[in-house]
Amino acid sequence: MMDQIIVQGGGALYGEIPITGAKNACLTLMPATLLTDEPLTLTNAPRLSDITTMTDLLGSLGAEVVSMQDGHVLAMSSHDLTSQTADYEIVRKMRASILVLGPLLARFGHAAVSLPGGCAIGARPVDLHLKAFEAMGAELDLRDGYVHAKAPAGGLRGAVIDFPIVSVGATENALMAATLAKGTTVLKNAAREPEIVDLAECLRRMGAQIEGEASGTITIQGVDALHGATHPVVTDRIELGTYMLLPAICGGEVECLGGRLDLLEAFAAKLDEAGVSVTQTERGIKTSHKTGRVRAVDVITEPFPGFPTDLQAQMMALMCTAEGTSVLEEKIFENRFMHAPELSRMGARIEVHGGHATVHGVDKLRGAPVMATDLRASISLILAGLAAEGETVVSRVYHLDRGYERVVRKLRGVGANLKRIKEAHPDE
Ligand code: EPZ
């Protein structure tokens, strides 16, 4: 459905926002259930449409996923799998579906997963995932849009895998597969995101032998089998960073409950450089900005611990009304400035040249009808609407539902004036 969110720009925001479990941790923790025939339970899970999609995908393989406590607990079991084929119909909706490939290959020795295809922010190939599995002895056959993978007769073999570029998904897929491979696997130039650390902690609870998950070089000793576990999903650092920006863009003071500074130090440092007060409290992270405009700062997106690409669109929204000129360089994805033309409709002054966006801060944005194009772009338009004069109508907000649980309720909780309207059915 093509719902819309109507935002009335307004004054400063005050209050607290509970931060939910991380979508991007949950999307790799859920496929981990395929590594064992014992139950894996995730707590602090976010209630999001991407989680529902992963639930459907696991269900299509015969796994059981019971969602409890309003979607915040996922009790999973893949004791009775009926298929090792991930169909295009589900995979095309969410790229993270490729993360079932490593676990299926490691536990069953064969799998067929539809190639995910690109998405709005880029081509997003999976070549690094496939090269990792080939290094572990798998034979891959790409045909009719699927990758058909087959492990050697004795199972996957440990290998030294040196990633040419840092890839979160490829690191996660290889890490999961390596837990059941014969012998030792070393992942070099591996991603170090908190979601990788969270996955390693969960796999260790399941009996995996893993070291170095926060270092960029991960060493895994394969074991014969993994057992069940219960694991709390780590806090969502991207939701956290998004809501930390509210006082900076609207004025006021907001405390993000459950926030941890170690999850986003580079981002917090940029807020500090822009003149925003950022403090870790015993309940979370408090940000405040009471007078005038923030200062323009330059941003370069990089793998963790650098500035996260998933917070680039939100930062651009802030820079639209900053004092001065900001240059944002997007180094992770090739097409992640689609929010720029939408922000320009609100009066922002942005020049995009390839991977660079130059933002000349203006005094005030003006509300306008705008369109969400991808998950993080959609929230940046909401942020801009909260700071703008007048009304902003954001359409195609289904993108939002992929990654922001109860966004209207959480923003209303700090005084924001916005509402969601269901698109009137054409023949109503
Ligand atoms: C994960 O995507 C996140 N998604 C993304 O969040 C996040 O932006 C990204 O990591 C970077 O941090 C999930 O965790 C579900 P990559 P992923 O592999 O794993 C290229 C959001 O908004 N690449 O680290 O797909 C790729 O094209 C989403 O929550 C290859 O060339 O990202 C990109 O340019 C958006 N070959 C770069 O590497 C490969 O085999 C980084 O991609 C894999 C990736």
CA distance 387 to 406: 20
How much is the average pLDDT of 104-120?
89
pLDDT at 2 (0 to 100):
81
pLDDT at 116 (0 to 100):
80
Ligand 1 pocket member 133 (CB < 6 A): no
- Is residue 119 annotated as a catalytic residue, yes or no? yes
305 preceded by cis ω (within 30°)?
yes
Contact 312, 339 (CB under 8 A): no
SS3 state of residue 409: helix
Given a cut of 60, whether residue 75 has pLDDT beyond it is: yes
Given a cut of 60, whether residue 428 has pLDDT beyond it is: no
Given a cut of 70, whether residue 37 has pLDDT beyond it is: yes
Contact 324, 296 (CB under 8 A): yes
Ligand 1 pocket member 331 (CB < 6 A): no
Ligand 1 pocket member 167 (CB < 6 A): yes
Q: Ligand 1: distance of its center to the CA of 169 in Å? A: 6
Given a cut of 60, whether residue 139 has pLDDT beyond it is: yes
Given a cut of 90, whether residue 122 has pLDDT beyond it is: no
Residue 1's pLDDT band, with cuts at 50, 70 and 90, is: low
How much is the average pLDDT of 397-401?
92
Q: What share of the chain is helix, strand, coil (3-state, %, to 5)?
A: 35, 30, 40
How much is the average pLDDT of 407-422?
97
SS3 state of residue 204: helix
Q: Ligand 1: distance of its center to the CA of 136 in Å? A: 22
Ligand 1 pocket member 380 (CB < 6 A): no
Given a cut of 90, whether residue 426 has pLDDT beyond it is: no
Given a cut of 90, whether residue 124 has pLDDT beyond it is: no
CA distance 416 to 418: 6
Q: Which of 95, 167, 264, 334 best tests ligand 1's pocket when mutated (most atoms within 8 Å of CB)?
A: 167
Given a cut of 90, whether residue 423 has pLDDT beyond it is: no
Given a cut of 80, whether residue 224 has pLDDT beyond it is: yes
Nearest atom in ligand 1 to 131's CA:
40
Residue nearest to atom 13 of ligand 1 (CA): 24
Given a cut of 80, whether residue 112 has pLDDT beyond it is: yes
How much is the average pLDDT of 30-51?
98
Give the amino acid at 21: G
Q: Which of 113, 129, 171, 332 best tests ligand 1's pocket when mutated (most atoms within 8 Å of CB)?
A: 332
From residue 83, give the alpha-carbon distance in Å to each of 139, 232, 372.
19, 28, 36
Higher-scoring residue by pLDDT: 292, 330: 330
Q: Ligand 1: distance of its center to the CA of 126 in Å? A: 9
pLDDT at 320 (0 to 100):
98
Q: Ligand 1: distance of its center to the CA of 319 in Å? A: 24
Nearest atom in ligand 1 to 168's CA:
24
Nearest atom in ligand 1 to 129's CA:
40
Q: Ligand 1: distance of its center to the CA of 26 in Å? A: 15
Residue 425's pLDDT band, with cuts at 50, 70 and 90, is: low
Choose, from 119, 250, 256, 320, the residue flagged as catalytic: 119
Q: Ligand 1: distance of its center to the CA of 332 in Å? A: 8
How much is the average pLDDT of 334-351?
96
Task: Give the fold, CATH level 3, of 23-232.
Answer: UDP-n-acetylglucosamine1-carboxyvinyl-transferase; Chain (3.65.10)
Nearest atom in ligand 1 to 308's CA:
12
Residue nearest to atom 6 of ligand 1 (CA): 310
CA distance 115 to 120: 16
Q: Ligand 1: distance of its center to the CA of 224 in Å? A: 30
Higher-scoring residue by pLDDT: 134, 93: 134
SS3 state of residue 298: coil
Given a cut of 60, whether residue 72 has pLDDT beyond it is: yes
CA distance 352 to 316: 12
How much is the average pLDDT of 289-308?
96
Nearest atom in ligand 1 to 334's CA:
34
Q: What is the mean pLDDT of the chain?
A: 96
Query: Do strands 73-77 and 284-289 pair parallel, antiparallel, or not at all (unpaired)?
Result: unpaired
Contact 262, 240 (CB under 8 A): no
Given a cut of 70, whether residue 424 has pLDDT beyond it is: no
Nearest atom in ligand 1 to 333's CA:
34
Ligand 1 pocket member 368 (CB < 6 A): no
DSSP conformational letter for 157: B
CATH superfamily membership of 2-20+235-423: Enolpyruvate transferase domain (3.65.10.10)
Residue nearest to atom 43 of ligand 1 (CA): 126
Residues of the chain with CATH 3.65.10.10: 2-20+235-423, 23-232
Q: Ligand 1: distance of its center to the CA of 27 in Å? A: 13
